[in-house]
Amino acid sequence: MSTSITTTAPTAPPVAKSLTRPPRSLWRDAGQRLLSNRLAQLGMVIVIFFLFLAIFVPVLFPYNPRIDSDLASQLQPPSLEHPMGTDEQGRDVMRRIAHGAQASLGVGIGAVLIAVIIGTVLGLVSGYVGRSLDLGLMFGMDILLSFPGLLLAIAVVALIGPGLRNSLLAISIVSIPIYARIARSTVLSLKQQEFITAAHAVGAQGGRILSRHVFPNSLSPILVTATLGIAAAILETAALGFLGLGQQPPYPEWGAMLADSVKYLTSGAWWVLLFPGLMIMLTVLGFNLLGDGLRDALDPRLRAN
Amino acid sequence: MQSHRLKLALPLAIFVALLVFAACSAPAAPPVVQTVVVEKVQTGAPVVQTQVVEKIQTSAPVVQTVVVQATAAPAQAPEAFVFGAQGEPVCLDPAVITDGISGRIINQVYEGLVKFDKDTTNPVPALAKSWTTSDDGKEWTFKLQEGVKFHDGTDFNADAVVKNFDYWGNTKNPQHDAQIKAGQTFEYYEAQFGGFDENSIIEKVEAVDPTTVKFTLRQPQGPFLNNLAMFVFVFASPTALEKYGVDTCKNPVGTGPYKFVEWKPNEQVTLDANADYWDKANAPKMNRVIVRNIPNNSARLLALAAGEINALEGMEPRDVAAIKDDPRFKLLLRPTNTTGYLAFNYNVKEFNDPKVRQAFAQAINKKAIVDALYGGTGLVAKELQPPSLWGYNPNITDWAYDTEAAKKLLADAGFANGLSEVTLNGKKVPLELWYMPVSRPYYPNPKDIGTAMAADLAKAGINVSLQTVDWATYLDRRAKGELPLYMLGWTGDNGDPDNFVCYFFCMSADDKPLSREGFVNDKELSDLLKKAASTIDKAERTKMYQESEQMLHDKILRVFIANNQPPLALGANVEGYIPNPTGTEYFNTVQVKAAQ
């Protein structure tokens, strides 16, 4: 906590603050503001609900999709027994949606986590060291950024083969430059600040300055981008699944479920289409609301209110 | 802020779209109001009366309302018959194609010596009036129709027949050579007549006089006439062949009831009626035929519902049932001539154990698959030949669906803990079940069918991982023997059992196993089939093909899943469409009446 106070010092007038109230950490402050934001609350509820599905459903209700098939009860509309109906194999749609949460959220969060770690390290080092390393790395990032994200992900999957793990890899590769860019831009603006110069003057090494002084300052924009990025990654996972490049049958994944159901567009089995689509929409909405709330909460200009 | 709004807008848009969709489609499931056209009364005067009975189904007693509509003027009868095809034709030169989409267009533009009769694969006269064959079956003499002209005015005669056969089978023919150099192959000629030049079963084709042509064969061929009736062995104008060369693909000139007008790539092929068609009794009934390319199943059906097309093939199984009950459409089924199967790669060590293969045969619940995933047009298959073919063996009893028996067989074969890995060419690989990426007549939805099979197999302890890849790669990897277990099927070309059984289970000329058989090495079966092919007597051949089916069954060389009767949907006002088992119909009998 003490670290946060020292590092946030340049962004807020310290003297005035200490006179009016006891110093509060940026994060605690932001947390309070986040909790008082209605839309962010809604986002949080949605996100927690789906996280719960993804983490606990596979443990509490084990399911083996390999042997799940009952053709005799195929495409039944929603009923008490099957609240979301059954699909063309006679499988319970609700069960598959609950178990599909693991794939969608797992890839969404996992891909962003990998991208954040690799991207931030690359961006920090690149920005701090500068010169030809910066030039080379950022040139590479620019090349990656110049492709539409989904198209690049499809190309990567086409190269390394379809599957859930490979789509996670593809989406994380596509997302790396975003975080590298953010981290680098923070470093560039902080490098000229007095407190960094001061750290230099007392003999701190590059690694220490980066990890103790620069990194914590770049955390808030990265956190906001990452939360919104999870939403995008979930959409991309679904898109890859829809194209048959993600999760392979018979394992459930929302995008793949949607793709399998498109053929019923003309024959009225709406439940196999609606529910997976609804789930994708809800999780994306949840992460977007949460991300927006976080951005507002972490905005230093709003801090005075 | 802008981007943030957009991010919210996308999922919201999806949600709204889904809601709209759900609202639109909901009534389709339980039809509340059904409109049934009961009768169409056509009076002599230009007044067309249509009687429509609206049946309103409610939980209360049924209420019937009769609405009589009278239109003042008769609707104009449409000029064109528009067919919705599943894809783009490859080429309109019959000599170098194998695909049915091109074949359907070729059937309207060109004609051969014989053609398939109506809804059968019986060869009947076309450009040949009659024919005789020598006692040893090696000489065939055809009498040709007189006064027939190609669309470009060239006379059709024995000379034209000779020139076409030379183009197909003589590698020194300049047009043949040009096609080969352009990367084309004369695949069907090679397959049906044993090869080119000296390898071909056809030794020579001679013009005895302008209306008589004589074939001399190197050895008798049982399916010779059926082969000649295939859509590839039809005659192009020799003048046009010389003029266009490899561009014949885009410039077809035949003698058929319709003439080629234009081909807009990825859009449509347009044909006009041939006013000078020689066979007045079978003259074209429409002024124009248009074959449109609509690859998406749902889009094609919507086009039919909107009246943009008059007929289509290829439907989602679930839509078939809906079309059957819809008075706006007619549902026709092609007589079954297609078999979908699960093939073993015999380079996999485990599959050489008959017990393992029997476990597969008994683990799969074919009936449930056919009932649920074929839209009511499928039949459970127990043999390679469909029941409509004369080599089909009616005395075979299929392996019973029995998960427990399959488990026991696996245990007996040494896989008590199930089978998840196999040895392919000495290397341990996961047991993959490959399903096709495209829908074909025998597997209308390979992914769904593959998923159902995989679940059945898993219940018996056979754990397959489902795999697929694009169609060309799929066929290529299968040919290289890289797929351990794969779904595929066959649609008969010419109504001869040879075309089904020998195509897969005759080994090469030097008795080497072939990749299209999954490298099965069964000389006994191969010898029997080769003997059947060179026999002329049909009763004898029938016995041999039935025997071959018994062998296939006893040895479980493959697991046959389903025969399908591929469905066609037509507008209610389309008449005279005769579905043919080969899948490529003649359109000269088709007529589109004025809309009702």
Q: Which of B18, B302, B445 is nearest residue A273 as measured by Cβ atoms?
A: B18
The verdict on a CB contact (< 8 Å) between A89 and B316 is no
Average pLDDT of chain A? 88
Question: For an interface test with B, which of A91, A258, A265, A267 has the most B Cβ atoms less than 10 Å from its Cβ?
Answer: A267
Judge whether residue B394 has pLDDT over 50. Answer: yes
The verdict on a CB contact (< 8 Å) between A263 and B368 is no
- Do residues B248 and B96 touch, judged by C-beta distance below 8 A? no
- As to burial, measured by CB atoms within 10 angstroms (0-12 exposed, 13-18 middle, 19+ buried), residue A250 is buried
| A288 touching chain B per CB within 8 A | yes
What local confidence, expressed as pLDDT, does residue B20 receive?
46
| A62 touching chain B per CB within 8 A | no
Q: Which of B10, B452, B463 is nearest residue A89 as measured by Cβ atoms?
A: B452
For residue A294, list chain B residues with Cβ-Cβ distance below 8 A.
none
Give the bridge partners for B488, in sequence order. Answer: B341
What local confidence, expressed as pLDDT, does residue A20 receive?
62
Chain A closest-CA separation from residue B374 CA (Å): 11
Residue B59's SS3 state is coil
- As to burial, measured by CB atoms within 10 angstroms (0-12 exposed, 13-18 middle, 19+ buried), residue A237 is buried
- The alpha carbon of B263 is separated from its chain's Cα centroid by a whole number of angstroms, namely 22
| A232 touching chain B per CB within 8 A | yes
Q: Which of B10, B11, B369 is nearest residue A71 as measured by Cβ atoms?
A: B369
pLDDT tens-digit map of B272-289: 999 999 999 999 999 999
Distance CA B284, CA B272 (A): 9
The model's confidence at residue A21, banded by pLDDT at 50, 70 and 90, is low
Give the bridge partners for A157, in sequence order. Answer: none
Judge whether residue B476 has pLDDT over 90. Answer: no
The model's confidence at residue A22, banded by pLDDT at 50, 70 and 90, is low
The verdict on a CB contact (< 8 Å) between B454 and A285 is no
Q: Which stretch of A163-172, B51-60, B255-264, B526-535 has the lowest confidence by average pLDDT? A: B51-60
Judge whether residue A10 has pLDDT over 60. Answer: no
Judge whether residue B31 has pLDDT over 70. Answer: no
Distance CA B314, CA A290 (A): 46
What local confidence, expressed as pLDDT, does residue A30 receive?
83
| A161 touching chain B per CB within 8 A | no
Strands (E) located in B296-405: 311-313, 329-333, 338-344, 378-380
For residue A160, list chain B residues with Cβ-Cβ distance below 8 A.
none
A29 vs B539, more confident: B539
The verdict on a CB contact (< 8 Å) between B365 and A232 is no
The model's confidence at residue A14, banded by pLDDT at 50, 70 and 90, is low
**B526 contacts: CB under 8 Å, gap ≥ 6:** B505, B506, B507, B511
- Do residues B92 and B249 touch, judged by C-beta distance below 8 A? yes
| A89 touching chain B per CB within 8 A | yes
Cβ of B72: how many Cβ atoms within 10 Å?
7
Q: Which domains does chain A have, with CATH numbers?
A: 28-58+82-302 (1.10.3720.10)
- Do residues B324 and B114 touch, judged by C-beta distance below 8 A? no
DSSP string, B399-449: PPP-HHHHHHHHHHTT-TT-B-EEEETTEEEE-EEE--SS--SS-SSHHHH
pLDDT tens-digit map of A181-220: 999 998 998 888 899 889 989 998 888 888 888 888 888 8
For residue A71, list chain B residues with Cβ-Cβ distance below 8 A.
365, 368-369, 371-373, 452
Question: For an interface test with B, which of A76, A84, A88 has the most B Cβ atoms less than 10 Å from its Cβ?
Answer: A88
Judge whether residue B565 has pLDDT over 90. Answer: yes
Distance CA B335, CA B142 (A): 29
Judge whether residue B208 has pLDDT over 50. Answer: yes
For residue B12, list chain A residues with Cβ-Cβ distance below 8 A.
281, 285
What's the predicted TM-score (pTM) here? Answer: 0.79
- As to burial, measured by CB atoms within 10 angstroms (0-12 exposed, 13-18 middle, 19+ buried), residue B530 is middle
| A244 touching chain B per CB within 8 A | yes
The verdict on a CB contact (< 8 Å) between A285 and B11 is yes
Residue B391: name the closest of B163, B161, B547 by CA.
B547
Among positive and negative, which fits the CA dihedral A12, A13, A18, A20? Answer: negative
Judge whether residue A59 has pLDDT over 50. Answer: yes
The verdict on a CB contact (< 8 Å) between A232 and B29 is no
The verdict on a CB contact (< 8 Å) between A266 and B302 is yes
What local confidence, expressed as pLDDT, does residue A23 receive?
65
The phi-psi region of residue B462 (left if phi > 0; otherwise alpha if psi is between -120 and 50; otherwise beta) is: beta
| A249 touching chain B per CB within 8 A | yes
For residue A248, list chain B residues with Cβ-Cβ distance below 8 A.
465-467
The verdict on a CB contact (< 8 Å) between A274 and B368 is no
For residue A233, list chain B residues with Cβ-Cβ distance below 8 A.
none
Distance CA B348, CA B346 (A): 5
Chain A closest-CA separation from residue B267 CA (Å): 23
What would you report as the CA-atom Rg of chain B, rounded to the nearest whole angstrom? 27
Residue B205 sits at the vertex; the CA angle it makes with B199 and B211, to the nearest 5 degrees, is: 160
Q: Which of A72, A267, A277 is nearest residue B14 as measured by Cβ atoms?
A: A277
Quote the tokens at residue B328. Answer: 């706006």
Identity at A49, one-letter amino acid code: F
